Structure 1
Amino acid sequence: MLALPSSLLPSLASALFYAGITAYQGARLARGAKANRTLLYGGGIIAVLLHALALSSQLLAPGGLNLEFITAASLIAAAVIALTLLACASLPVENLLVLLYPLGLVTVLVAQFAPAGTMPRIDQEPGILAHILLSILAYGVFTIAAFQALLLSVQDHQLKHKHPSGPIRAFPPLQTMESLLFGFLWAGWVLLSLSLISGWLFLENMFAQHLVHKTLLSCLAWVVFSVLLWGRTRLGWRGHMAIRWTLAGFVLLMLAYFGSKLVREYILHI
């Protein structure tokens, strides 16, 4: 009898919860109404816990930690959703979930059914594992900031053209949305700074052949976010300027975290 992977059932159950909550919140937003918080958060918490259960089997492989491209993407998606749910306790960011729950749905299914890459298992000292954790958290927070920037762009466009749709009417005021964006940017910048510092401290050579692209792109992203935060503090940057710089920095970070992994594992097979 063929044994089923231990991650299969929690992956499918998590996907069902993500799909159900996404459909419910999307329908409520389309009518300009707020979703029931118990359903929105309760269903999301169950979905992300099941997602984490599936990941525990996929990550903890014989020989070390499995952080292949697809598994890493699923881990980051789960971390982003968990961070957003925590933020919802004190910040009006529940509208981000209508974008993040589908992300969780896609990544949990892809991680379960897509073919494996070729990355070797990670069995390293605590310092390097801390660097990896900080990198994942930094990327997760900047992912939230990028989604916040996209929502801010849509809200700003519709308000300027004076035809806000039902979903936009359910959003917090524009000034609140912008303040939240910069709160996420500051948190992500601190985590990215710690990630780079820990890399310099614990990695033997951050400019080794297999790390040089990630290092350079991460440093460029750090510069972009630093300039943006300086511009906000000193020059009062906001609106489209903040949105463009946020998305530019996020694209650099996405290329750093996933571009090299995708090429190495699925094109070069190394």
Structure 2
Amino acid sequence: MILAIPSPLAVALGIATAAAYGFAAAAGARLSRKATQWALGLAWLLHAAVLGHGLVGSEPKFGFAPALSVTAWLVLTVYAVESRMYPQLKVRRALAWLGAAAVLLAILFPGTPLHVSASPWLPLHLALGIASYGLFGAAVVHAWLITRAEKQIRLATEPQGGVPLLTLERLTFRFVMAGFVLLSATLLAGLLFSETLYGASVRGWKWDHKTVFSVLAWLSFAVLLIGRVRFGWRGRTARRVLYAGAALLLLAYVGSRFVLEVVLARGAT
């Protein structure tokens, strides 16, 4: 199996980033909230440097692991903004471990160069898709927080000052709606501008695994939003549909690229 070899600078930045995330996660329980935020902020900045180096280098590469790395960074970005408004959110350690794992995975599997016949607009198209990944990832994190809070309530162990369940629920659906808009734009661009984006000879969608799973994910999120508005879906029902849609979306690009890059050892974008 032939894998792209990351540059020494990329490896050094990645290791430093993973170490910073690991420190924020491991020492978070012993540090003050402010100190933990500073440590996580440093890791976030290093992570941004890693992503920038990978996307604007002499030979930009992309693949399933970089997609996961960008998604993790976007989720952390959402948390950084949201924690200013809701300091009661207690998910720093989990997100720090997620960031460390995503960065290390991207070092091992740095992706493959973008196709030479692809349009200069392809990175923007990919950015829209990955941005939707990040927003749905944030929605999944909030859904998990709701599940954890409900469990704490049942066990009578809910700490004082937590974010109210209704607030978490509203935030979850706001992220779902925003992600749905971006996913819709990504699919529409792929349908209307496939020749321009990919240099393809066939217009419209190419019905491969990526497209099929993306459309199935879009339908799942559409059903979730309709169920929310029309039938007032909430609780376990809404979370199960959200998790199903997120899993399908993960399989769409990350799953298909994993099979191509690792299982089949191919590099087609």
Q: Does 1:246 align with 2:239?
A: no
2:36 paired residue number = 40
Aligned to 2:170: 179
Aligned with 2:21 (options 18, 21, 26): 18
Q: How far apart are the structure 1 equivalents of 2:95 and 2:46?
A: 16
Give the corresponding residue for 2:131.
137
1:219 and 2:211 equivalent? Answer: no
Task: Show the 5 A alignment for 1:104-183.
Answer: 104-112=99-107, 114=108, 119-123=112-116, 124-159=118-153, 161-164=154-157, 169=160, 171-183=162-174
List aligned pairs for 1:44-83, cutoff 5 A: 44-63=40-59, 65-83=60-78
Contact 1:128 1:202 in 2 (8 A): no
**Deviation readout 1:24-46 (Å, 9 max, x if unpaired):** 44568xxxxxx62x323322221
Residue in structure 2 matched with residue 90 of structure 1 by the alignment: 85
CA distance in 2, matches of 1:93, 1:128: 39
SS in structure 2 at match of 1:172: coil
Match of 2:191 in 1: 200
SS of equivalent residue, structure 1 residue 110: helix
Amino acid at match of 1:108: V
CA distance in 2: counterparts of 1:105 and 1:93, whole angstroms: 23
Deviation at 1:134, TM superposition (A): 0.4
TM-score, normalising length: structure 1? 0.83
Change (3 A) 1:262 1:195: same
Q: Is the 8 A contact 1:207 1:215 kept in 2?
A: yes
Alignment RMSD, CA only? 2.4
Matched residues, number: 252
| Alignment match, 2:95 | 100
Seq. identity, %: 35
Please tell me the residue identity of whatever aligns with 2:127: L
* AA aligned opposite 1:136: I
Decide whether aligned partners of structure 1 residues 165 and 16 sit closer, same or farther in structure 2, where only a CA change above 3 A counts.
farther
Tell me if structure 2 keeps the 8 A contact 1:66–1:120.
yes
Q: Distance in 1 between matches of 2:12 and 2:121?
A: 34
Gaps of at least 5 residues in structure 2 are: 1-6, 196-202
User: 2:115 & 2:81 partners in 1: Cα distance?
Assistant: 29
Q: Hey, which bits of structure 1, 4+ residues long, moved more than 4 A?
A: none
CA deviation after TM superposition for structure 1 residue 61, in Å: 4.3
SS across alignment from 1:89: helix
Q: Secondary structure at the match of 1:6?
A: helix
Q: Please give the per-residue CA displacement for 1:45-104, whole angstroms capped at 9, x wherever unaligned.
A: 2111111212333334444x2002222222222222123212323345742333221111
1:228 aligned residue: 224
Runs (5+) with no aligned partner, structure 1: 29-34
CA distance in 2, matches of 1:139, 1:85: 17
How far is the alpha carbon of 1:116 from its aligned partner?
5.0
Contact 1:206 1:212 in 2 (8 A): no
Aligned mates of 1:26, 1:190 — CA distance in 2: 37
What secondary structure is seen at the aligned counterpart in 2 of 1:95?
coil
Equivalence for 1:32:
none
